[in-house]
Amino acid sequence: MALGSIKNLHREREAFLARALFGTFFCLVLTGILIARLFDLQVLQSEYFQTRANDNRMRVMPVAPVRGLIYDRHGALLAQNKPAFMLEVVPEQVENMDALLGQLSKVVQLTDQDISRFKDRVRKTPRYRPVPLRNNLTMEELARYELDRYAFRGADVSAGLTRNYPLGASGAHIVGYVGGISEKELSEAPENTYEGLSLVGKTGVEKSHEDTLRGKSGAKVIEANAYGRPLRELDYRRGYPGRNLYLSIDSKVQLVAEQALGELDGAVVAIDPRSGEVLALVSKPGFDPHLFIEGIDAKTYKALSGDPKRPLFNRALQGTYPPGSTVKPAMAIAGLEYGVVTPEDGVYCRGEMTLPGSSRKYRCHKRSGHGFQDMVGGVMRSCDIYFYELAIKLGIDRMHDSMTRLGLGHKTEVDLPLENAGLFPSREWKLRRRKEQWYPGETLSIGIGQGYTLTTPLQLAQMTARIAMRGKGFKPHVVYATQDAITREVTRVPTEPLEPIELKDNHNWQRVIDAMVDVAHAPGGTATRIGRDSPYRIAAKTGTAQVAAMRQDEKKARSLESTPLHLRDHALFVAFAPAEDPKIAVAVIAEHAGHGGAVAAPIGRQVMDMYLLGEVRYNPGAPAPAASVAPVAADGHVHSEDLED
Amino acid sequence: MIAEVIYRARRGGPDKPEPGMADLLESWHIDMWLLLLLATVAGAGMFVIYSASGHSIPAVVNQAERFLLGLFVMAVVAQAPPEFYRMMAPWLYGLTLLLLLLVEVIGDHAMGAQRWLDLGFIRFQPSELMKLAMPMTLAAFLHHRRLPPRPLTLLGALVILGVPTVLIMIQPDLGTSMLVIAAGGFTLFFAGLQWRWILGALAAVGAAAPILWERLHDYQRKRILTLLDPESDPLGAGYHITQSKIAIGSGGLFGKGWLEGTQAKLDFLPEAHTDFIFAVFAEELGMISVMVLLAIYLCIVGRCLWIAVRAQDSFQRLLAGALGMTFFIYVFINIGMVIGLLPVVGVPLPLFSFGGTSMVSLLAGFGMLMSIHTHRKLLAN
């Protein structure tokens, strides 16, 4: 047609048809590729992508259970949950952490400890999880935060519950405290146990009854959009609140025991001998359990744990002390049981004695001697010579058997953590641990509760309770009942009877108890100052445990003032009352406080008064601190009958 | 009524069989089959837009308005005979080229590229116009020449193809320039371009790929790298592809149900009602429906090629064939990108995606196809 070429219209048409067919083929091949890929995505991998789509939209939000409350036996609150506002940060959403912390510190108070603890936790937590920065925001801080909240990307305030202990330091050693869950606690617990929870029991009942108190976490599955905003709830799994605990502790008795100890360090344990219920358990000095809830900072913790008075140490069941003369009633029972003495058999006390073939002198605490003492006198006046002779007659093996049956040297298995077993030595123990044989002189020391013997205040209370019950006994326990938080149904924790101690002659219990009653009520008894005005009859034994051994050349007892505090004797006291129908057994230890009869006995009396009478009738004035104790010691001698043991 | 009378007159009397709907429409220069297929796709698109836009009625109305405007343009375009477009082609080409140059000078910037021209009453992309002008001009250029094209002819064609492509590429708009090349390339292909030239050109592109790579913008390179391994950066560049694959794959054979797709509804899938609308469709309606949609698209392409085969001169054949194939390439590139076979380039799913000037220009193209088809019979008479 034009431009000098001849078009062959027919051939062009044929050629076009071929190309059109090829084009069709091309389209079909490409469509085939699309279909193959779609088949791969929508059929072969469909399940995988469905999972991915659900992972995108569904978030499982744990719903933390409410922790059980802790009450004392009369329903007074010992541990409760308090609403708290917590400032949390999700590290994943934060662009510049330091900048954010800087901004936040302008509206809420952030200490260096808060920040270092926070950074520590950030390292240990998955980045999409909120990390607490500050707990217990004040209303003012909350208001300041809310005003500017959009400036704090990645930070959020959540309302939750925190733990509160109305008794503060007074209950700290029984109730314990909760604290942030550690990596280790998390990995040791079954999976999902702590979903949504940030606190776990660290000591005391909070720890030993953690499983009861915790409850069961619930969960809700929510649908969230790409920006993480929750849109609707897809599923809800109910949790269950933790059970409430009723402790056998009587907080009035507890407070009296605490006040009676005053500034002294030591422990008081009171048990109901008829059931093993622990009525009071005090260890001093105490500490404020609230310090631990938010996660204690390193400095405060160092100060607490490095304190030479060891406030975190639960003396009542971790502390081990030589029992001193408080073992003497049990010694007397052993002597009668094995028939090595009769109640009338006596010993003449000259103030000291020696063993055959040795020049070593074994002294009585009364240097001038007690004169002739039978069993009652030995117990009542706490004559060491009587018990030296008794120890020689019994020998270490029988002493060990007898004392072990009364609970010394092994754990009472109370439902509190960290209990110490103490120690009651034996030949076998010495050979094994010290690689030495047993020397006869050691038997004498053990006979008056010195030497290797170590006991916890709880063991002493338990031993006293078993004597009071004439050999019957119950495992000591702190939790008396549990309660379902929803149905309010109360379940008693059953008492656990121990195998009773049967004596060949069960009258021997009464003989020793009578001697203990004389300690408090007969003239010459070492605890008559608390027995004189008592409206009920007390069976008691005082003790003064030596911390430093007396040198052989020391003729006279050292006065309290001249002894450095950490070498001064511990004052001990055990008792139960009423003697004819025991309802309470107590053990008191006042560290480095001097004489049991003067210092420890009044504390025990006040505790028993409170429990039995509902008020403290005994009033000697406040128990004197260690330094001003022992008014009779002006001349350096301790010789008052009243004070000694 | 009037049209029917004219039609009957042209057919030469009532002894012929009763005319059906198709014949009636044809007398108005509308091809019924194409119209039905296009309307089906656009209609289905509106349902998915409703779901993907978060139940937005205005979005659907907006889309419907755009579709009706496109249909109107299509009907108007179909009225003129193909010869008119052959005459107009060089003029349209020159005008579009001018507009492309204008964009370089005064164009609006959007998303780091200079694509838009604001003429006061309308904002549009001249590159969109070139998708139509290119096959028209090339077809017109080849119309009189001997086919298959001889080297000199080919050189002329390559100049016509090259100049606007370069202008679009430097905007930069890689996707559109590829489509313009495709439109021109298919025209040459249908003109009977020898296989040795075709294969040679493909080999040259392969050889030039590293050089082209160097010249790509960072975001363009990232898109291609992301395609190879979308999970390498699931929150960044790979996010689109990953979320899109999740949406499609989780739809399975039968889909989650209309309005029940979680990926779009919860904003995990970006651009859900525009470029990635296919993912929403696949998630909610499943693979069976996807196959039906692909079949409809293939029917449209098939109808275009059928029109091309029946066309009566080179210009009409080449234009119809190229428009049909380019339409298919749109579909392939969009779906290929959404299912993670091709890099993410901004190509909407034709007639289905929300918005864009592409709806009107596409339908204008179909108007020319209808013109080619319906004026054929008149010529035959």
B64-92 confidence digits (pLDDT tens): 999 999 999 999 999 999 999 999 999 99
Total count of domains within chain B: 2
Statement to judge: residues B121 and B144 lie in one domain: yes
| A472 and A329 both lie in a single domain | yes
Interface touch B339/A41, C-beta < 8 Å: yes
Write down the pLDDT at residue B344: 78
Residue B351 lies in a domain: yes
Q: Which of A38, A57, A234 to mutate to test the interface with B (most CBs of B within 10 A)?
A: A38
User: Mean pLDDT in chain A?
Assistant: 86
Cα pseudo-dihedral B216, B218, B223, B228, rounded to 10: 90
Q: Quick one: A104 and A204 in the same domain?
A: no
Same domain, yes or no, for A255 and A243?
Answer: no
Which of A217, A247, A277 is where one domain is finished?
A247
* Whether residue B373 is found in the same domain as residue B259: yes
| pLDDT higher than 80, residue A298 | no
- Is the CB of B338 inside 8 Å of chain A's CB atoms? no
Helix axes of B126-143 and B174-190: crossing angle, nearest 10 degrees: 20
Compare CB distances from B248 to A26, A41, A48 and report the shortest one's residue. Answer: A41
Co-location of A542 and A460 in the same domain: yes
Compute the distance between CA of residue B126 and CA of residue B130 in angstroms, rounded to an integer: 6
The answer on B239 and B318 residing in a single domain is: yes
Quickly tell me which residue has 């370069």 as its tokens: B166
Last residue of a domain, one of B215, B233, B249: B215
Q: How far is CA A76 from the centre of its chain?
A: 19
pLDDT confidence of A115, banded at 50, 70, 90? confident
Put simply, whether B197 touches A (Cβ < 8 Å) is no
Range of the domain at A70: 59-76+166-247
Using CB atoms and an 8 Å cut-off, which of residues 220-259 of chain B contact chain A? Answer: 243, 245-253
Identify whether residues A535 and A409 lie together within a single domain: yes
Q: Which helix (H) or strand (E) holds A140?
A: helix A139-147
Residue B380 forms part of a structural domain = yes
B278 and B134 in one domain?
no
Q: Does the bond joining A578 to the residue before it have cis omega, within 30 degrees of 0?
A: yes
> Is A115 a domain residue?
yes
Instruction: Name the more confident of B197 and A464.
Output: A464
Among the options A170, A251, A275, A325, which is catalytic?
A325
pLDDT in tens, A118-127: 887 787 666 7
Asked, as a colleague might, if the bond just before A285 is cis with ω within 30 of 0, I would say yes
CATH number at residue A223: 3.90.1310.10
Q: Are residues B173 and B36 in the same domain?
A: no
Q: Which of A17, A31, A35 should one mutate to test binding to chain B, selecting the residue with the greatest count of B CBs within 10 A?
A: A31
Do A220 and A63 meet the contact criterion of CB atoms below 8 Å apart? yes
* B296 assigned to some structural domain: yes
Q: Is A226 found in the same domain as A138? A: no
- Average pLDDT, stretch B204-208? 85
| Same domain flag for B271 and B165 | no
Location of structure tokens 């030296």: A388
Neighbours of A469 (CB within 10 A): 20
A449 occurs within a structural domain? yes
Residues B60 and B85 in one domain: no
Domain boundary among B168, B185, B215: B215
B280-319: per-residue pLDDT in tens? 999 999 999 999 999 999 999 999 999 999 998 889 999 9
Note whether residue A19 is domain-resident: no
Overall number of domains in chain A: 3
Is the domain of A364 the same as that of A437?
A: yes
Which among A46, A52, A57 has CB closest to B266? A57
Q: Hey, are the CB atoms on A7 and B314 less than 8 Å from each other?
A: yes
Whether A642 maps to a domain, the answer reads: no
Contact A3 B145 (CB under 8 A): yes
User: What ipTM does this complex have?
Assistant: 0.90
Alpha-carbon separation of residue A70 from A73, A207, A240, A246 (angstroms): 10, 12, 17, 6
Enclosing domain of residue B161 = 80-215
Among B215, B235, B251, the domain boundary falls at: B215
**Do both A285 and A208 map to the same domain?**
no
Ranges A320-329, A620-629, B191-200: which has the least confidence: A620-629
Task: Check whether residue B135 and residue B68 sit in a common domain.
Answer: no
Please indicate, yes or no, whether residues B203 and B230 belong to a single structural domain of this protein: no
Domain assignment present for A14? no
Active-site residue flag, A325: yes
Phi, psi torsion values for B184, nearest 5 degrees: -65, -40
Phi, psi of A20 (to 5 degrees): -65, -40
Is residue A431 domain-shared with residue A504, that is, in the same domain?
Answer: yes
Give Cβ neighbours of residue A518 (< 8 Å, ≥ 6 apart).
A376, A379, A380, A525
Q: Which of these, B248, B276, B345, lies nearest to A38 by C-alpha position?
A: B248
Give the tens place of pLDDT for each residue, A595-645. 888 899 999 999 999 999 999 988 664 444 343 333 333 333 333 333 344
Which tens digits make up the pLDDT trace of A436-466? 999 888 999 999 999 999 999 999 999 999 9
Do both B203 and B221 map to the same domain? no
Tell me: pLDDT of A92 over 80. Answer: no
Q: Give percent above pLDDT 70 in chain A.
A: 90
> Given A13, A15, A42, which is nearest B248 (Cβ)?
A42
Residues A73 and B130: their CA atoms lie apart, in Å, by 91
The identity of residue A32, as a single letter, is G
Same domain for A522 and A385: yes
**B133 plus B164 within the same structural domain:** yes
Q: Are B366 and B76 spatial neighbours (Cβ–Cβ below 8 Å)?
A: no
Lowest mean pLDDT among A43-57, A65-79, A141-155: A141-155
Residue A213 maps to a domain: yes
CA distance B86 to B93: 11
Q: Determine, yes or no, domain membership for A224.
A: yes
Read off the pLDDT of each residue in A540-565 and give the average, rounded to a whole number: 68
pLDDT in tens, A277-289: 999 999 999 999 9
Find the range with the poorest average confidence among A466-470, B232-236, B333-337. B232-236
Q: Do A475 and A607 belong to one domain? A: yes
> What is the edge-to-edge ordering of all strands in the sheet holding B108-110?
B108-110, B113-118, B123-124
Task: Please tell me whether residues B44 and B127 are part of one structural domain.
Answer: no
Looking at the structure, do residues A270 and A146 belong to the same domain, yes or no? no
Residue count of chain A? 645
Picking from B246, B324, B339, the nearest residue to A56 by CB comes out as B246
Q: Is the pLDDT of residue B370 over 80?
A: yes
Q: Please indicate, yes or no, if residue A258 is contained in any of the structural domains.
A: yes
